[in-house]
Each structure stands twice: as C-alpha cells, then as structure tokens.
Amino acid sequence: MRGVRQHVNPLGLAFMRVRARPIERPRQLAADAQVDVELGCADADFSFELARLHPERLVVGLEIREKVVAMNRARAAAEGIPNLVFGYVNLNVDMDQVFGEAAVDRFHLLFPDPWFKERHHKRRVLEPSLCEVLRRQLRPGGELHFASDVYEVALEAMAVLEDPAIAHLGLRNLGAPWSFWRGEAPFGAVSRREVITRRRGQRVWRLRYVLS
C-alpha cells in the first residue's frame, strides 16, 4: 500500500475523537443475514475472501487508517463484491458506535499490531472495555476469533478473556479454558499476515470464544 502509513498511534489525540459511524447494511442482503466483522483489517484479504465464500453474509472490515478504508472500499466496488463494506473505527475509542446490540455473529481480531516495547503495551487493542463492547454487539452463540503470530500477544489476549473479572460476559473458550485453538484456519479464509506466518513455518496462536 504505497503512500499509506504503516502504523498510527491509536492513543494519539487525532484518534481520540469519536467519529466512527454505524455500518449500513446493503439493501439486497436478507434482514437476517449473518454478519462477520474483521477488526483492524488493513488490506482485508481475510474479509475479501470471506465475502466471496459467503455472498449471503454481510462482511465488514474496520480499520483506523482512513486511507486504507477508502482503498478497500474502492477495491470492493471494482471487484463487484456488494456484501463487503468498510468503515473507520478506533477500537479503543468508538467501537460502540458501529453496531447495535446483538447485531454481529463473528468478530475476527487477526494479527493485531504487537507493540513490542513495554511502554507501548497500553496501545494493545484487546482490553476488558473492548470485550464488553464486543459482547454487547454479539448475538447469542456468536464468536470472538483472535489470532496472532506473537505468543506473548496471544497469551495476553487469553489472560484478558479468561480473567474472572469478565466471566460475567459469558464468553467461553471453545477449546478448553486457558488453551489455544488447534488446527487450520476455521473459517475458510486467511488474512495476509496468516499467509506470511505460515509461509515462514511459524505457528499461528489462535483463540475462539463463543457467547453461551
């Protein structure tokens, strides 16, 4: 993606203002169409593939870099994929604006930026307040799917999701408590980062939590 910044600071002042908009459902989709959402989609290879595999579903890619949102919209229009839409969000600021209650079947948080330096850890996106928002937006039986190539990042995400302090949300590890999901990509689509990770022969640390 030429001319597009690789990273933005999600805690920067410019990104603190609430400006995410509700996602509008394309009219041609059934009112009860299932909804899949990729959080922090970048070039959104996962979303493009998923939308092609499931033309009956609404697939939504959300991203903090607005240029990337615009590029993805242009690509979806050029490729004629009407069930794929994109929107701006800062996951830690205005995710609550994007969907109403019980509107989403699956959230996919794939390969979030690892923010290795300790002083940058606070920029990591999966925190208890985001879990609460996602929980509200999930339908009963819905799922939060997480993957990372960085073990420490995946373990931290698991620690957030297994924390007794958020047990009341009812998110249950689809494997067993405190365990990673084993096996291939469970949704038929893979993100660009997942392709790169596998090509390097590295492991994907995956988590799946369902709303029971």
Q: Which of 131, 204, 133, 203 is nearest to 172 (CA)?
A: 131
Torsion on CA atoms 43, 47, 53, 57, rounded to nearest 10: -150
- Known catalytic residue at 113: yes
Using CB under 6 A as the criterion, which residues of the chain lie in contact with ligand SAM when the complex forms?
10, 38, 40-42, 63-65, 89-92, 110-113, 125, 191-193
Q: Which is nearer to ligand SAM, 60 or 91 (CB)?
A: 91
Least distance (Å) from ligand SAM to the CB of residue 92? 5
The separation between the first and the last C-alpha atoms of the chain, rounded to the nearest angstrom, is 39
Least distance (Å) from ligand SAM to the CB of residue 38? 6
Catalytic residue (choose from 43, 105, 113, 149): 113
Q: Which is nearer to ligand SAM, 91 or 104 (CB)?
A: 91
Q: Which is nearer to ligand SAM, 64 or 144 (CB)?
A: 64
Least distance (Å) from ligand SAM to the CB of residue 191? 3
Q: Which of 62, 60, 64, 56 is nearest to 36 (CA)?
A: 60
Q: Which is nearer to ligand SAM, 36 or 113 (CB)?
A: 113
Annotated active-site positions, please? 113
